[in-house]
A = this chain, B = another copy of it.
Amino acid sequence: MSAYRRTYADRAKQHVNPAAKSLLETIERKQSNLCVSVDVTSFNDFLSIIDAVGPYVSLIKTHVDIIEDFEPSLILRLQELSAKHDFLIFEDRKFADIGNTVALQYSSGVHKIATWSHITNAHPVPGPSIIRGLAAVGLPLGRGLLLLAEMSTAGALARGAYTEDAVRMARGARDFVIGFIAQRRMEGVGLAEGEKRNEAEDFLVLSPGVGLDVTGDGMGQQYRTPEQVVSESGCDIIIVGRGIYGKLGNVDIGEVQRQAERYRKAGWDAYLQRLN
């Protein structure tokens, strides 16, 4: 049976990568396939939003490189919130360089992403060496990698043969590549002529560009509903950002939590609908 017809709990049992297994278990335990993307530039906003949405999510997506007043203590606070609210961390770094460089970017520098982020992602554009470079750092730490097989922006070049190559690269590194950033399932993509689908293949599909109220941000981002993303397209996790915490200014914690619960429920309902 194809992965997306099975329960998260069932899939967790068969994943060998620790980050993938833990994420699937968390989704099941919290009945949440919601990932909140926290794209803010202040340390305090960052932690306030995560503390507010923590109970409703299985995964928090970060861009630590946009935080003005970043310091190592921020990571400690983030890890405390991860433990308190039971979610995993996904630094949305979009690595996109040669193997040697990404290994340094992942392990070193001010941010030391590999030491705290359970999951990160990379563009397949440099070829398989990017996976080897990141795996050399991340595998010993039990980390997982997502490849960007598609993008939700207008005019994106991640399509067609590019997407097929990305999926083939992932199939060549299944111990470390746990899934994709994409708009749909990838089971049938990138197969050679006459090659059959491997029914045991189970890549997680995380989908950005999810919104209940909006259709675009004026900067090329396009939105779909949780039902379209999870039930119709078979994606596993919805990624939502400003749809939950708005334009900022003064963060209204109560309103942020109402929106987070609204998206959690919409994502979970779409999953239940898909199983039936």
Main SS at interface, chain A: loop
Closest to A217 in B: B100
Closest to A163 in B: B157
Would B109 and A126 count as touching, CB distance under 8 A? no
- Copies per complex of this chain: 2
Would B109 and A65 count as touching, CB distance under 8 A? yes
Would B123 and A151 count as touching, CB distance under 8 A? no
A122 to chain B, nearest CB (A): 9
- What residues of chain B lie closer than 8 Å to A133, measured between beta carbons? 219
Would A153 and B132 count as touching, CB distance under 8 A? no
Would A128 and B155 count as touching, CB distance under 8 A? yes
Of A67, A156, A161, most B-chain CB atoms within 10 Å = A156
Q: 17 additional contacts, CB 8 Å, given A63-B101, A110-B111, A126-B157?
A: A65-B110, A65-B111, A66-B105, A67-B108, A68-B110, A70-B109, A96-B123, A98-B153, A99-B220, A125-B157, A127-B153, A127-B155, A127-B156, A129-B219, A132-B220, A155-B169, A161-B161
Residues of A with Cβ closer than 8 Å to B?
Answer: 39, 41, 63-68, 70, 92, 94, 96-101, 103-105, 108-111, 123-130, 132-133, 148, 151, 153-158, 160-162, 165-166, 169, 217, 219-221
